[in-house]
Chain A
Amino acid sequence: MSMNAAIIGVGQSAYVRRPQPGQSTHTFIRDAVVAALQDAQIDASEIQGMAVTSFSLAPDAAVDLAWRLGLSLRWLLQDTNGGSSAMNMLGHALRGVETGAASPILVVAGDATGLGGYAKIAANYNIATREHLAPLGHGGPNGVYSLVTTRQMNKYGLTKSDYGHMAIAQRAWAAKNPFAVYRAPLTMEEYLAAPMVADPLTRYDCVPVVAGAQAIIIAHPDRCPRGRAPVRVRAIRNSFNYDNQEGDGLQTGISTFAEDLWQTVGVRPDDIDVASIYDDYPAMVLAQLNDLGMIPDHDLATYARREIGERRKPINTWGGMMSAGQPGGPAGGLNGISEAVLQLQHRAGERQVKGARRAVTTGYGMTLYRYGGTAAAAILERME
């Protein structure tokens, strides 16, 4: 557990489906950085470290971004772990502050690929994808996770409407998030009638790609603005290539460390007030919740219908990426962390979960061939 490091501020840019002339990955990142600095009441000249992830920063790298932002640093990291990047950067930043390597540290993620740009990234995601999947016309991750979703439906007896509960619940949360790109209420009828993208995935199962950026600031808890509770990370765990792609993809790397995560913190899933679960696809939300031990008896169908459908559990309270939008790819992971911080600081406005003290956040991504190869989870807590 980090005793001398906490998350003290968050910020984000606007999210848009199509970037306008003059908008780029760099400008979205700038907007998020400015917002986070303002939120944390820290001057840019005080920043000593930065971590960044983006699919569309190239040919620039982290140091180019530091230069463009006018930040002279002694700690710098660029992360390449997709949907787990934010969690990975968070862990490194906490340790960087804790060990005195740098403080404050800025953690930022952003993308503005455009839809066509994202399609090119999806077809060239790695060598395996470029050589063995793209020539099939696999349609990027939609093709991969459509097969995973069918597998999950068969194994756990899930129906299409079970996934609909998640899309509808998250859309209801998104209605209370002014940054979300889709805020209009969604009905089950609309969900079930949506056009098929990759059977059984329909439009509302596929995370919408947006342009945008998020940033958080890690520092000693004493640097948190007055009157605001810092958020500490009680434990954080990561997994990379946990099964060499030899399983069925219905478990994630979270399954390898979940028990250790809970034991380290000394809490159980029922002690969690808010959950930010990486939601590139509904099936993967259920898989991660299951791996975390948050679904009793591994009964995914009942959990989807009751806990999610009846809004008993606050999950992805900013609307999730499925309604708020996913900036490119790796940037999406920072959404859930930022939302958890706002909830634990009791600054989530209309969507505030009353008295929230603990949150679980996850990351999942980097589709290697048949499913994702990276996963991470953390328990965050409000410091009183």
Chain B
Amino acid sequence: MSAGVGIWRCRTCGTGYFPERLLCSRCHTHDFVPDRVIEGVVEEITVIRHVLGQTDWAPRRLASVRTVNGPRITVGLRDESGPGTVIELFEEGNAPFGAAKAVP
């Protein structure tokens, strides 16, 4: 697990992308620099309760998240965070996950 989620930011116009693009959709250059988004706000959630072809499925929570200074991404939620919650983002493999930001 690594903190934050890797995104690709256009060096020319600053637009952040996830998943990776070949050209920036705004300025159509192809010079991207890696960046990380650390947190975001949960906008919508769902619980996947049934999946075709799966007989032993444990429900999974997913959320659409507006990242700070980055794109909207779909993450796996590791807690009961609901809409409006600020969550910390992290990666497992190439997949983004999140859980409520710890209170200091």
Contact = CB atoms under 8 A, between A and B. Distances in A.
Given A131-B19, A369-B19, A122 B52 contact: yes
A346 interface: no
Given A128-B19, A198-B47, A135 B52 contact: no
B94 A132 contact: yes
Interface string B43-73: 1111111111110000010111000000111
A244 B23 CA distance: 11
A311 interface: no
Contacts of B75: 136
Contacts of A150: 44-46
B44 to A, nearest CB: 4
B74 A142 contact: no
B80 interface: no
A116 B62 contact: no
Nearest to A152: B44
A92 interface: no
A137 B74 CA distance: 11
A144 B49 CA distance: 13
Interface residues on A, range: 35 or more
Contacts of A142: 48, 51
Given A244-B25, A246-B25, A195 B50 contact: yes
Given A143-B46, A147-B62, A198-B47, A132 B72 contact: no
B52 A209 contact: yes
A106 B74 CA distance: 40
Contacts of B32: none
Q: Which of B25, B45, B46, B49 is the most central at the interface, judged by chain A CB atoms within 10 Å of its CB?
A: B46
Interface residues of B, number: 31
B48 A139 contact: yes
Interface in A79-123: 115-116, 118-120, 122
Contacts of A294: none
A147 B54 CA distance: 21
Contacts of A151: 43-44, 64
A147 B62 CA distance: 9
A162 to B, nearest CB: 17
A317 B64 CA distance: 34
Contacts of B71: 246
B93 interface: yes
Given A136-B62, A140-B52, A147-B64, A199 B46 contact: yes
B49 A197 contact: yes
A146 B47 CA distance: 9
A351 interface: no
Most chain A CB inside 10 Å of its own CB: which residue of B47, B71, B93: B47
B95 A143 contact: no
Interface string A146-166: 110011001000000000000
B40 interface: no
A370 B64 contact: yes
B5 to A, nearest CB: 10
A192 interface: no
Given A131-B94, A135-B76, A151-B44, 17 more contacts: A118-B52, A118-B53, A119-B53, A135-B95, A136-B60, A136-B96, A137-B60, A138-B48, A138-B62, A139-B52, A140-B51, A142-B51, A146-B46, A146-B62, A154-B44, A195-B49, A244-B25
Interface of A: 115-116, 118-120, 122, 127-128, 131-133, 135-140, 142-144, 146-147, 150-151, 154, 195-201, 209, 244, 246, 369-370
7 contacts: A119-B51, A127-B19, A131-B93, A196-B49, A209-B52, A246-B25, A246-B71
Interface of B: 18-19, 25, 43-54, 60, 62-64, 71-76, 92-97
Q: What 9 A-B pairs have minimum CB-CB distances, sorted nearest first?
A: A135-B95, A119-B53, A137-B60, A146-B46, A136-B76, A139-B48, A244-B25, A116-B53, A119-B52
